[in-house]
Amino acid sequence: MENGEAINGKNEFEEYLENENLGMPTVGEVRKCTVVSSGTEYVIVDLGAKTEGIITKKELVKEPQDYKSGDVIEAVVINYRGEEEGARTYLSEKRYLVPKILEEIKKSMEEKKPIKGRIIKKVRGGYTVEIQGTVSAFLPGSQASYLNNISNDELLKKEFEFEVINFEERNNGNNIVLSMDALVNKEVEKFLQSVNVGEKIKGVVKDITNFGVFIDVGPMIALIPRSEMSWDRNVNLKEKFKIGEKVEGIVISKDVQNKKMSVSVKRLTEDPWEKIEEKYPVGSVVDATVTGIAPYGIFVKIDDGIKGLVRAENIFWGNTKRNLRDYFHENDQIKVEVTEIDKNKRRISFSVKDVKGDPWNNIEEKYHVGDTVKAKVEKVLDTGIILGIEDEISGFAHVSELSWNFVKNPSDLFRKNQEVEVKILDISPEKRRMKLSVKRLQKDPWEELSKTVKIGTPVDCEVVNLKNSGAILRVVNYNVEGFLPKSQFYDGIKVGDLFKAKVHKVSYNPDLDERDMVVTIKDLPDNSKKEDHKEEANFNQGPMRTTIEEMVNRKGEK
């Protein structure tokens, strides 16, 4: 109809409607539609008829909001309502595409070509996959091991490729079964055949375990065994690697049949043991880090992959029976000397003491008998005290050299780490010993005592020890040591007894280092225990004498 010509006759009008495609929509008819608008539940389309068409959400391939005005789609009419019902035409994009998609799926299976789809949800035994937003298929869990390393969020966002392993058209629904592993295995096999042992490869850390690190190298997951992480066998994997971190390594093995690959990171660098004798020759002094402490020595690290032992006997020049944890802590930085290398067994030994040198060498040039030095108490014993003069140089002060007065327990006078001044009495470099004295820096009380105490002077005594030759006493009045011969023992004498006595003899000769006091209980009626002693009669028959044999025995026991 042009230039305003009138339409004459019914046939001409129907012909016009047919030519303009304005005829009544027919159920099952395919129409090319243009999107007019979209909402959240449907899309309005112009299908070239009297009325606009509606395609609801469930009949669309995509979400309604994904369609833009002007988009052209093809859909099939599924329902038409005349003017008496509002003149609405309902269409389906899915029902138009389903036959075509099914044909593509069937062809894909026959030609063994991959087909794309999205995982919609996880169901019992596997996953539901939607192909081109229209056809649903089933992916068994046994055919989807690749998805085990993918998070659920990532799973629903990505589009994957699948292989169709079963296709059956049914009236009540199609049975389409997919496989991801079959396709992945082909890709992995192709990938493994293209990779050579010894070449570099990059990947992303996916998981960290006690036995190694798994990395994604593209179509497959490869393993970096723990032994191939670092030349340092005690490396902390979780400190060295982080999930999502990119790493590079060298392919050390591949198994095409079992779809496995092993990668090494440590082989990117040279084995430190290969040239260890050149880099760390015996006798060289190097910086080291303490990595462990044991009763028999300390473990140290001097380089990545190079750790060794410093045995206890190679730590101290003096007494090696020390608690090493009092001197060393993990991560301490120390200097060590290389003493032994066994390249084949990958063992290396060190010394700490050789770095400093033996302090007892030429010690007599530094210290002399008679010198007064400052020292620190290292240990308090029943027999005396051990004093440290400097690092690795210690000496011993016998209990008899601690005080001019009687000393029952050295711990009553001294404590660990106490600083004192001492006098050197003797130096024996070959025995690594030094004799010290505390009392000889003090005034000798025996000098004055020998002038004032005479034979017969009354004294109070306490038994502190019993010997074969007699009793060792503490003379309370002067707090010095005295002696009661065994010939004067009374019944039941024991350590701790208190009794009165008289001085029988005082001997003082500093040149011979002689300081002795002998006491007697003769003619003391108030000591009832002594009066009843059977031997006292013999003792009272004449003056008391200390025999030479008794004096020698007493000196030896002391």
Burial of 483 (0-12, 13-18, 19+ CB in 10 A): buried
CA distance to 26, 93, 97, 495, per residue, from 42 (Å): 21, 12, 18, 111
Task: Give residues with Cβ within 8 angstroms of 210, minimum separation 6.
Answer: 226, 237
Per-residue confidence in pLDDT tens, the chain, 558 aa: 444 444 455 555 555 545 544 557 788 888 899 999 998 999 999 988 777 899 999 888 888 998 999 999 889 899 887 655 556 889 998 888 888 888 888 998 988 889 999 898 888 999 999 888 888 899 998 898 878 767 777 787 788 889 999 988 777 678 899 998 888 888 888 999 999 999 999 999 999 998 899 999 988 899 999 989 888 877 888 888 899 999 999 999 999 988 899 999 999 988 889 899 999 999 999 999 999 999 999 999 999 889 999 999 999 887 667 889 988 999 999 999 999 999 989 999 999 999 988 888 889 989 999 999 999 999 999 999 999 998 888 999 999 899 887 788 999 999 999 999 999 999 999 888 999 999 999 888 888 888 889 999 999 999 988 999 999 998 988 888 899 999 989 889 999 999 999 999 999 998 888 889 999 987 776 544 444 433 333 333 333 334 434 544 555 554
Architecture (CATH level 2) of domain 363-441: Beta Barrel (2.40)
Write the CATH number of the domain with boundaries 112-184.
2.40.50.140
The per-residue b/e assignment along 316-348, b for 16 or more CB within 10 angstroms, e otherwise, is: bbbeeeeebeeebeeeeeeebbbbebeeeebeb
- Alpha carbon distance 31, 16 (integer Å): 19
For residue 21, give both structure tokens: 């495609």
The token pair that represents 204 in the structure block: 């992303």
Q: Residue 543 CB: number of other CB atoms within 10 A? A: 10
DSSP string, 204-246: EEEEE-SSEEEEE-SSSEEEEEGGGT-SSTT--HHHH--TT-E
Structure tokens at 478: 């002067």
Cα–Cα distance for residue pair 129/110, rounded to 1 Å: 20
Residue 22 tokens read as: 């304005």
Instruction: Report whether CATH 2.40.50.140 matches the domain 10-95.
Output: yes
Strand (E) or helix (H) holding 38: strand 30-38
3-class DSSP state of 277:
helix
CA distance 348 to 3: 108
Q: Which CATH code fits 452-557?
A: 2.40.50.140
Please give the single-letter amino acid code of residue 295.
Answer: P
**What is the Cα–Cα distance from 481 to 446, expressed in whole angstroms?**
11
> In the chain, which segments carry CATH 2.40.50.140?
10-95, 112-184, 195-268, 276-353, 363-441, 452-557
> How many other C-beta atoms can be found within 10 angstroms of the C-beta atom of residue 379?
14
Fold of the CATH domain 276-353 = OB fold (Dihydrolipoamide Acetyltransferase, E2P) (2.40.50)
CA distances from 347 to 175, 268, 271, 299, 306 (A): 65, 23, 14, 12, 8
Tell me if the domain spanning 195-268 has CATH number 2.60.40.420.
no
Q: Evaluate the CA torsion angle 42, 45, 47, 53 in order and state its sign.
A: positive
How far apart CA 91 and CA 33 sit, in angstroms, is 10
Distance CA 58, CA 92 (A): 9
